[in-house]
């Protein structure tokens, strides 16, 4: 198991934007990863009126799990983790409105296809073993040159 300090080494998120609490397991051959997010009042997306985090935030949990899988893969290849971008979110279905404070959300991702630097993933969120959300996310890895160009344009 990889604890929170290690996800910080394999994904580019920092501070409150690092939402993954731990990596439970992964399979690079199958291109799958399981992670957990502990829901606390310190979460960037915490809504005190509803006592939790809106379920739509799970798309970011899933995206960070994808980023972790990519980071583990690139580290294995001797490279540094790459920045990625969410291109689309589709078929997102949720059975709940909020992840309540004190709960732990298990995130599961599986690569379902790819073309060049564009990857499709199926993602799920589970609470106490019950699937409460599912959806598809398309992401794109950026090359160092593309990231440098984007940063220069915004700078």
Three-state DSSP class for residue 97: coil
Query: How confident is the model at residue 91, as a pLDDT?
Result: 92
Which parts of the chain have pLDDT scores under 70?
1-5, 7-9, 12-14, 143-155
To the question of domain 2-154 being in CATH 3.10.129.10, the answer is yes
Q: How far apart are CA 99 and CA 83, in angstroms?
A: 27
**Measured in Å, how far apart are the chain's first and last C-alpha atoms?**
38
pLDDT tens digits for range 2-33: 655 476 667 766 677 788 999 999 999 999 99
Domain boundaries, the chain: 2-154
Question: Order of strands, edge to edge, in the sheet holding 104-115?
Answer: 2-3, 22-27, 32-38, 104-115, 118-127, 130-141, 84-94
CA angle 66, 104, 123 (to 5 degrees): 30
Query: How confident is the model at residue 145, as a pLDDT?
Result: 62
Query: How confident is the model at residue 89, as a pLDDT?
Result: 93
């Amino acid at each position: 198991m990889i604890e929170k300090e290690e996800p910080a080494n394999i994904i580019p998120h920092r501070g409150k934007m690092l939402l993954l609490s731990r990596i439970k397991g992964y399979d690079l051959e199958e291109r799958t990863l399981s992670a957990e997010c502990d829901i606390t009042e310190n979460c960037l997306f915490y809504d005190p009126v509803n006592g939790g985090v809106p379920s739509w935030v799970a798309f970011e949990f899933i995206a960070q799990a994808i980023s972790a899988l990519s980071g583990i893969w690139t580290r294995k290849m001797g490279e540094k983790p790459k920045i990625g971008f969410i291109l689309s979110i589709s078929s997102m279905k949720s059975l709940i409105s909020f992840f309540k404070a004190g709960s732990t959300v298990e995130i599961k991702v599986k690569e379902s296809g790819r073309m060049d630097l564009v990857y499709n993933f199926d993602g799920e969120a589970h609470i106490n073993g019950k699937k409460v959300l599912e959806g598809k996310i398309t992401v794109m890895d950026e090359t160092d040159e593309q990231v440098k160009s984007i940063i220069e344009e915004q700078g």
